């Protein structure tokens, strides 16, 4: 079946602009995660949704970052007043309902490469 999809695959913007990144999780997966991966590093957690609500947003670096998942499926990560340091690959992952499971397999999409000039 279809995996996690993310659009756009690449986004170039100028410092100070607003960007939106989209994630379509695997059908039927209720949990959705956003991670950020800088060059040469492992992914770093940003936010986790269970259904429509953000269950854990402890990884968001500051209030310029915000994410929504209004219908419990597609999610959008929004970054205001972008800075050059925001340049990274933004990864989305999804899981089957973790409330039914003890463990937490996460399946990743291909990512969106964001470049802030």
Residue with tokens 């219908």: 71
- Single out the residue of 21, 24, 29, 33 in contact with another protein (rule: CB under 8 A): 33
Residue with tokens 């269950």: 55
With binding defined as CB under 8 A, does residue 55 bind another protein? yes
With binding defined as CB under 8 A, does residue 56 bind another protein? yes
Contact 61, 44 (CB under 8 A): no
With binding defined as CB under 8 A, does residue 104 bind another protein? yes
With binding defined as CB under 8 A, does residue 51 bind another protein? no
- Single out the residue of 48, 65, 86, 114 in contact with another protein (rule: CB under 8 A): 48
Closer CB to another protein, residue 79 or residue 89?
Answer: 89
First CA to last CA across the chain, in angstroms? 37
Residues 6 or more apart in contact with residue 92 via CB below 8 angstroms? 4, 6, 23, 25, 32, 33, 34, 35, 75, 77, 108, 109, 111
Site residues for another protein per CB under 8 A: 4, 31, 33, 35, 40-45, 48, 55-56, 58-59, 91, 95, 98, 102-111
């Amino acid at each position: 079946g279809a995996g996690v999809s993310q659009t756009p695959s690449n986004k170039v913007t100028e410092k100070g602009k607003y960007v939106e990144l989209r994630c379509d999780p695997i059908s039927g997966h209720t949990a959705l995660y956003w991670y950020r991966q800088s060059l040469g590093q492992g992914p770093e957690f940003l936010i986790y949704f269970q259904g429509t609500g953000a269950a854990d947003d402890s990884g968001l670096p500051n209030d310029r970052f915000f994410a929504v998942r209004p219908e419990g499926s597609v999610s959008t990560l929004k970054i205001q007043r972008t800075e050059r340091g925001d340049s990274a690959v933004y990864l989305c992952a999804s899981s089957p309902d973790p409330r039914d499971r003890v463990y937490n397999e996460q399946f990743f999409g291909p990512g969106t490469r964001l470049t802030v000039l």
